[in-house]
Structure 1
Amino acid sequence: MTAPWRILSLPPVGREVVRGMFEPLGDAAEVTFPERRDRAALLAALPSADIVIADFSRGFVLDAEAVAAARRLAFVQMPAVGVDRLDLAALTAADVPVANAAGFNARGVAEWVLGAAFALCRNLAWGDRGVRAGGWPQAELAVRNPREVHTQRVGIVGFGSIGAETARLFAALGCAVSYWTRRRRPEAAATYRELDDLIATSDILVLALPLTDETRGMIGPERLALLPPNALLINVARGGIAPDDAVLGALDSGSLAGAALDVYDREPLPPGHPLRSQENVLLSPHAAGSTVQSQQNLIAAVRDNVTAAVQGRDVRNIVNGVKPQVIRR
């Protein structure tokens, strides 16, 4: 009898959720978890794992040391889109395919971007704070440059599933939508522009691309200075692409009229961080994709991909170029 595949599931995905995903596999798979939430427990659990469901939070990192400890590792599934918590070079060198859950929260994040655009354009959070404090800032709101979203030129940096869905929603409102990505998309319902041109012609600049060595610091002070007057920034990508200090500098200089941020250089955002006191910044705790529908999509994506690996079928959404058929070690 063939031994069951050992699936090591890392936090923060709940244990009961994971057990429920793979119960239909019966004796073909055994789900395990680290004994504790520390580095030593991770390194102790990895040597017997065939498949790892990775940690998308700031907890367990699959770095080169961890990959070396995972001698039987045949597949890594990230229950998220971003894979910056993984050492992709080490995993690729070990011939381990890595998959993400691309597209699972595209609609949820795109709707958050749209909601953030409305909030910034109409100063909704600022007005709410004023009324709650006992004021009636009707006249003050009228001089804070309120604008209708459909009149804004929208530029999207990154055009994966989130960027494409964001473009579609803004276009439906009547916005002029442009985008930049490393590979031009002929099918895109938006106009391609080179990055600096895109920034210089965007009243609302949306960041929706992964954090890599190439994109870290990509939208720094020099590029933020290219924005047109009264521009707005919405970041649902990763902290570090537009560093917090650069965003603060652009707000102070007037290059930015406002920003909506779901991600930061450090998460959680430290107490007393100057972004917390910016009245024209909408802050969110990295939760743009946290909808009921997105979570259902995520569970289905992880379940289906890991099940395919166990049953000898090709997995989907490989991000490191390794062949999609998972070979047991």
Structure 2
Amino acid sequence: MSGTPWRLLALLPLGEDMIRGVFGGLDAEVSMPAERDASGLHAALAEADLVIGDYTGALAIDAAAVAAAPDLAFVQMPSVGVDSCDLDALTAAGVPLANAAGANARSVAEWALAATLDLSRSITWADRRMRAGEWPQMETAAHGSDELGGRRVGVLGMGAIGTEVMRLFDAIGCRTAYWSRRRHPHGVFKELDELLTTSDVVVVCLPRTPETIGLLDTGRLALMPARSLLVSVARGGIAPDEAVLAALESGKLAGAALDVYEREPLPVDHPLRNHDDVLLSPHTAGATRQAQLNIITTVLDNVRAAIEGRPVRNVVNGIDPVVRHR
């Protein structure tokens, strides 16, 4: 099928002009779903070879979507997470799935450090009271005013983000250790339960997989030292929202900084929104201008490689990285 034009379907929740402006220079026919729902997705997939996924997860590449795409040859996610894709279905169909690993590592790691500093010094806690007309000088010190340097920080997951998190916390004098499925040549490795029991701060950087969903349940969070901090830049459900709330209410956690939730957007009436010791962020830890540019560049480079017959990078499901027409 040499010379057959590639058909590129972009599922990004962006305007048509923007999508064509970014991807129009590729040697491919660019299209978008007519409707952003399951039927619109499946209709568009029926005529697609290459797909750029939806980072919001609203248009999931699940098993039904894969079945609706007989010519599908490659899926590129514009994110690190691939939990909106059915890896088993794509693998069975022989379709390589790639992510944007490392593109936002610095941005997410900086957010994790900033959020930990905020919780350690009760910065947002005091800001809320100042805006209400109070002068909580003594109360802020009593609520929590700890230096971060010298504290024990446990990092869960040592991909690009976890590695950068450890580097930044090391730089300010924290005593870091990590748990990961694979041991790394640098850093102090501890088994998961030991890491939780010996960490004043736990930073969650794990991907969402069947093995990590619910990993930090009520029992595991109970292992953490009293008045410790939890920072999650991973995916919702690894530390279930109800388990985090229970640990806060019991006093086990002094605070939690959350960028991700089991349900996104976080419901308006969710109790996390009203908890005084929770720092909330709308899944934007990696949303810096620098990270967005890195992601766009990664996506463009990989799609161009697919079109030109060169191996694509960051394939996560073990399929041959040279993309071929079906």
Task: Tell me the residue number matched to 2:183.
Answer: 184
CA distance in 1: counterparts of 2:218 and 2:80, whole angstroms? 27
Match of 2:251 among 225, 229, 254: 254
| One-letter amino acid matched to 1:203 | D
User: Is the Cα–Cα contact under 8 Å of residues 9 and 32 in structure 2 kept in the other structure?
Assistant: yes
Q: CA RMSD in A?
A: 1.1
In the TM superposition, what are the counterparts of 1:28-107 in structure 2 within 5 Å?
Answer: 28-107=27-106
User: Is the Cα–Cα contact under 8 Å of residues 155 and 177 in structure 2 kept in the other structure?
Assistant: yes
Task: Tell me the residue number matched to 1:310.
Answer: 307
Q: Offset of 1:230 from its aligned partner?
A: 1.3
Q: Offset of 1:171 from its aligned partner?
A: 0.3
Q: Secondary structure at the match of 2:208?
A: coil
CA distance in 1: counterparts of 2:134 and 2:280, whole angstroms? 22
Q: Secondary structure at the match of 1:76?
A: strand
Q: Secondary structure at the match of 1:30?
A: strand
Residue 157 of structure 2 corresponds to residue 154 of structure 1: no
Residue 194 of structure 2 corresponds to residue 197 of structure 1: yes
CA distance in 2: counterparts of 1:307 and 1:62, whole angstroms? 21
In the TM superposition, what are the counterparts of 1:1-329 in structure 2 within 5 Å?
Answer: 2-25=3-26, 28-186=27-185, 188=186, 190-329=187-326
Q: Secondary structure at the match of 2:24?
A: helix
| One-letter amino acid matched to 1:326 | V
| One-letter amino acid matched to 2:9 | L
| One-letter amino acid matched to 1:225 | A
Q: Offset of 1:145 from its aligned partner?
A: 2.7
Q: Offset of 1:250 from its aligned partner?
A: 0.4
Q: Offset of 1:269 from its aligned partner?
A: 0.8
Q: Offset of 1:92 from its aligned partner?
A: 0.2
What are the Cα deviations for residues 219-271 of structure 1, in whole angstroms up to 9, with x where unaligned? 01111011012100000101100000000000011111100000111111111
Q: Offset of 1:144 from its aligned partner?
A: 1.3
The total of aligned residue pairs comes to: 325
CA distance in 1: counterparts of 2:224 and 2:71, whole angstroms? 50
| One-letter amino acid matched to 1:282 | L
CA distance in 2: counterparts of 1:24 and 1:251, whole angstroms? 51
Deviates more, 1:60-69 or 1:156-165: 60-69
Q: Percent identity?
A: 57
What are the Cα deviations for residues 284-313 of structure 1, in whole angstroms up to 9, with x where unaligned? 101100000000001000000000000000
Q: Secondary structure at the match of 2:51?
A: strand
Q: Offset of 1:140 from its aligned partner?
A: 0.5
Structure 2 residue ranges without an equivalent (≥5) = none
Q: Offset of 1:2 from its aligned partner?
A: 2.0
Q: Secondary structure at the match of 1:192?
A: coil
CA distance in 2: counterparts of 1:79 and 1:155, whole angstroms? 28
TM-score (norm 2): 0.97
User: Is the Cα–Cα contact under 8 Å of residues 24 and 30 in structure 2 kept in the other structure?
Assistant: no
User: Is the Cα–Cα contact under 8 Å of residues 22 and 307 in structure 1 kept in the other structure?
Assistant: no
User: Is the Cα–Cα contact under 8 Å of residues 205 and 234 in structure 2 kept in the other structure?
Assistant: yes
What are the Cα deviations for residues 55-99 of structure 1, in whole angstroms up to 9, with x where unaligned? 121311111111011000000000001111011100000000000
Q: Secondary structure at the match of 1:62?
A: coil
CA distance in 1: counterparts of 2:162 and 2:273, whole angstroms? 27
| One-letter amino acid matched to 1:22 | F
Q: Secondary structure at the match of 1:48?
A: coil
Q: Offset of 1:13 from its aligned partner?
A: 4.2
CA distance in 2: counterparts of 1:308 and 1:290, whole angstroms? 25
Q: Offset of 1:14 from its aligned partner?
A: 4.3
Q: Offset of 1:17 from its aligned partner?
A: 3.7
| One-letter amino acid matched to 1:2 | G
Q: Secondary structure at the match of 1:11?
A: coil
CA distance in 2: counterparts of 1:316 and 1:172, whole angstroms? 30
CA distance in 1: counterparts of 2:57 and 2:84, whole angstroms? 8
Q: Offset of 1:22 from its aligned partner?
A: 3.3
CA distance in 1: counterparts of 2:236 and 2:46, whole angstroms? 32
